[in-house]
Amino acid sequence: MNGKELTRASRFLSRVLRHDPGLAGIRLDERGWTDVDSLLRGCRRAGVALTRAALEEIVATNDKKRFALSPDGARVRAHQGHSVRVDLDLEPTRPPRLLHHGTTGRFLTAIMAEGLRPMRRHDVHLSPDEATARRVGSRRGAPVVLTVDAGRMHDDGHVFRVTGNGVWLVAAVPPAYLDAPTGQDSRA
């Protein structure tokens, strides 16, 4: 597969493994895993000619490391971002003192008033560094990076988990734990 075909296949995998497994005629187990051979057959039926080698390349080279293969290579799943019900079986983990969330200015007023909510996903996604958060925020326009006082949240009883690709998950982030860049805080 060329780069364009790999990108198309990666997007399709993201949709199937996170939001709509029926699109490829597959089922995810309670932990979000599905059989690789079933997935490959389902992709072909859906018009995405994905081979095992291409799947392994996508898993290994996806810039966001969205996917994981089981140790035996028989199953695959998305690390996070599911809108379908799965339990990723991630242990609660003490987060770093600060985490970050990338967004755009048009959402800032609502976020600073209501906090970060998972919306259609099961958790709020947080980045360990500003550069990653900036990349995430730039998908929808000029990015704004919010800083989350994760250490204080954890001390106050909020539960954090970290995925295999380093994305931090939390149920929600109340506004009291958020800081916007100077001049961007709509509460001022």
- Poorest-pLDDT segment among 56-65, 104-113, 170-179: 56-65
3-state secondary structure 15-45: HHHHCCHHHHCCCCCCCCCEEHHHHHHHHHH
Contact assessment for residue 66 and residue 79, using Cβ atoms and an 8 Å cutoff: yes
Q: Do 27 and 58 share a domain, yes or no?
A: yes
Give residue 115's domain range. Answer: 99-179
Residue 148: pLDDT over 90: yes
Structure token pair of residue 125 = 């996604």
Tell me what percent of the chain is helix, strand and coil, each rounded to the nearest 5: 35, 20, 45
| Whether the predicted pLDDT of 186 surpasses 60 | no
Q: 107 and 71, same structural domain?
A: no
pLDDT for 182: 67
Domain count, the chain: 2
- Contacts (Cβ under 8 Å, ≥6 apart) of 140: 103, 104
Tokens of 105: 């200015």
Same domain, 123 and 160: yes
Q: What is the CATH number of the domain that holds 22?
A: 1.10.10.970
The reply to whether 34 and 72 lie within a common domain is yes
Name the nearest CA neighbour of 132 among 100, 173, 164: 100
Q: Which of 62-66, 88-92, 141-145 has the lowest mean pLDDT?
A: 62-66
Asked whether the whole model's pTM tops 0.85, one would answer no
Higher-scoring residue by pLDDT: 156, 120: 156
**For residue range 36-82, what is the model confidence (pLDDT) as tens digits?**
999 999 999 999 989 999 999 999 988 778 899 999 999 999 988 88
pLDDT of the residue at 150: 98
- Would you state the structure tokens that stand for residue 72, as one six-digit string? 């035996």
